[in-house]
Amino acid sequence: MTQDINAAASGWDEARPTARLILADGTVIEGRGLGAEGVAAGELCFNTAMTGYQEILTDPSYAGQIITFTFPHIGNVGVNEDDLETVNASGASGVRGAVFAADVTDPSNWRATRGLDAWLKARGIVAIAGVDTRALTALIRDKGMTNAVVGHAPDGALDDAALKAALDGFPGLEGQDLVPLVGATQRYDWDQGSWGWPGHDAPGVYGKRPDGAAKRVVAIDYGLKRNILRLLTSAGCEVTVLPATATAEDVLALDPDGVFLSNGPGDPAATGDYAVPMIKGVLEKKVPTFGICLGHQMLALAVGAKTAKMKQGHHGANHPVKDVDTGKVEIVSMNHGFAVDRDSLPATARETHVSLFDGSNCGIELTDRPAFSVQHHPEASPGPQDSHYLFHRFVELMDRGSGDAGRGSK
């Protein structure tokens, strides 16, 4: 049955839909197609951020997903070369599709180099506009993230059999290791710092690593975002990125002051084959370690904890998270569909951060090793900068060197 989840003011021709979104429960939503033509199946999630659609669409953690934007006007500021989060040159983030409320109009912004429609097309992202994304989000809220398929045919010739076959063929994210789709395949070095504003009408400039002794950091790429690398650099780190398949020996051969475990897509429990032994090897040597999102989940798995699929997950840029040590609440960027089960944490790991939306675990620290990690995205991009302090906490941990187990052990 076709549901009336269509935005009235979107301007598409209801008699001639050029895109169709079908959910696993059979719900059919029609609209105007944009971006890539064809069919794409994935897990449908919603993101509540009001800005930063380009960073969201290039965040490799979204591989295998179709993103519903709850903010109604997406595309107004176009896209540019600075707001890419994907590190790999192709810009392929693995995002399958996008769902918008209002039609995407021509960009109006001094930074824009291209319109969103053409950019989505170039990246193979199939999109649909004219959807009541509030109603769709309420549906996902009630039923949980669901598998879905989106099809776009400019002539309106949408092939329901092909859509259904793609939907049936999509295995879902649970049990999926998607890191090989988006992670680096080769070692590389990174030395670009944070982007800054020189003035409202001049191009932005990237910072440099501050003068002084640099910390040598090996970053493991499960689907890294550029702003993580930039903030590590700006915090004084000399960063070498290694592929996710790097072994503990590969990492330790570079004699790092610290190891960073990145964000990334898919099910953490399915990513363990190569990741967990590497992390265990690094922890054994007491090398200071910091993890973000998938990196947080992998650190937890490496010490014997468990992760579980969430119902709607957390995808937005205004989530309140409490640092349980300081009592401070930080407003953070979130993007995850799995979470660490706090009850499964070993005695040597303590919870440091908690989501104030649903009480789920958002951070841990090991008490016998110099290692900590957070579920949220302190690099934001998009999002608030409240959690940038964590990059400095990592540097402080490296300053103390191996063997110091962090704040919780003192």
Ligand X SMILES: NC(=O)CC[C@H](N)C(=O)O
Active-site residue set: 293, 377, 379
Label residue 180 exposed, middle or buried (CB < 10 Å: 0-12, 13-18, 19+). middle
List the structure tokens of 3. Answer: 């549901």
CA distance 269 to 369: 22
297 carries a ligand binding annotation: yes
Q: Does 265 bind ligand X (CB under 6 A)?
A: yes
Binding residues among 274-303 for ligand X as defined by CB under 6 A: 293-294
Which residue's CB is nearer to ligand X, number 227 or number 335? 335
Which residue's CB is nearer to ligand X, number 12 or number 69? 69
> What per-residue string of b and e applies to 210-238 under the rule 16 or more CB within 10 Å gives b?
eeeebbebbbbbbbbbbbbbbbbbbbbbb
Stretch that binds ligand X, among 33-41, 243-251, 321-329, 333-341 (CB under 6 A): 333-341
Which residue's CB is nearer to ligand X, number 29 or number 184? 184
- Yes or no: say if 40 and 153 are a contact pair by the CB < 8 Å rule: no
The correct pick among 61, 147, 289, 333 for binding ligand X (CB under 6 A) is 61
In angstroms, give the least distance from the CB of 272 to ligand X: 13
Stretch that binds ligand X, among 96-104, 148-156, 331-339, 361-369 (CB under 6 A): 331-339
DSSP character at residue 214 = P
Q: Does 80 bind ligand X (CB under 6 A)?
A: no
Find tokens 């994210």 and name the residue. Answer: 173
Best CA proximity match to 261, nearest among 387, 404, 394, 84:
394
- Yes or no: say if 17 and 156 are a contact pair by the CB < 8 Å rule: yes
CA distance 231 to 390: 10
In angstroms, give the least distance from the CB of 178 to ligand X: 8
In angstroms, give the least distance from the CB of 64 to ligand X: 9
Stretch that binds ligand X, among 71-79, 282-290, 335-343, 352-360 (CB under 6 A): 335-343
Which residue's CB is nearer to ligand X, number 289 or number 335? 335
- Which amino acid would we find at residue 72? P
List the structure tokens of 169. Answer: 């063929």
- Yes or no: say if 298 and 268 are a contact pair by the CB < 8 Å rule: yes
Find tokens 């070498």 and name the residue. Answer: 240
In angstroms, give the least distance from the CB of 61 to ligand X: 3
CA distance 94 to 88: 11
DSSP character at residue 166 = H
Find tokens 């300053």 and name the residue. Answer: 399
Q: Does 338 bind ligand X (CB under 6 A)?
A: yes
CA distance 180 to 283: 24
List the structure tokens of 159. Answer: 């092939």
338 carries a ligand binding annotation: yes
In angstroms, give the least distance from the CB of 142 to ligand X: 20
Stretch that binds ligand X, among 12-20, 66-74, 315-323, 329-337 (CB under 6 A): 329-337
In angstroms, give the least distance from the CB of 291 to ligand X: 9
- Yes or no: say if 19 and 31 are a contact pair by the CB < 8 Å rule: yes
The correct pick among 42, 94, 316, 337 for binding ligand X (CB under 6 A) is 337
How many positions of this chain bind ligand X (CB under 6 A)?
A: 12
CA distance 6 to 381: 30
266 carries a ligand binding annotation: yes
List the structure tokens of 61. Answer: 């953690």
Which residue's CB is nearer to ligand X, number 18 or number 335? 335
Which residue's CB is nearer to ligand X, number 258 or number 264? 264
Q: Does 57 bind ligand X (CB under 6 A)?
A: no
Strand pairing category for 237-243 and 188-190: antiparallel
Which residue's CB is nearer to ligand X, number 17 or number 64? 64
Q: Does 335 bind ligand X (CB under 6 A)?
A: yes
**Mask 225-264, x = binds ligand X (CB under 6 A)?**
--------------------------------------xx
SS3 state of residue 180: helix
Best CA proximity match to 310, nearest among 170, 124, 97, 319:
319
264 carries a ligand binding annotation: yes
**Mask 138-157, x = binds ligand X (CB under 6 A)?**
--------------------
Binding site for ligand X (CB under 6 A): 61, 263-266, 268, 293-294, 335-338
User: What residues form the annotated binding site for L-glutamine?
Assistant: 61, 264, 266, 294, 297, 335, 337-338
User: What residues form the annotated binding site?
Assistant: 61, 264, 266, 294, 297, 335, 337-338
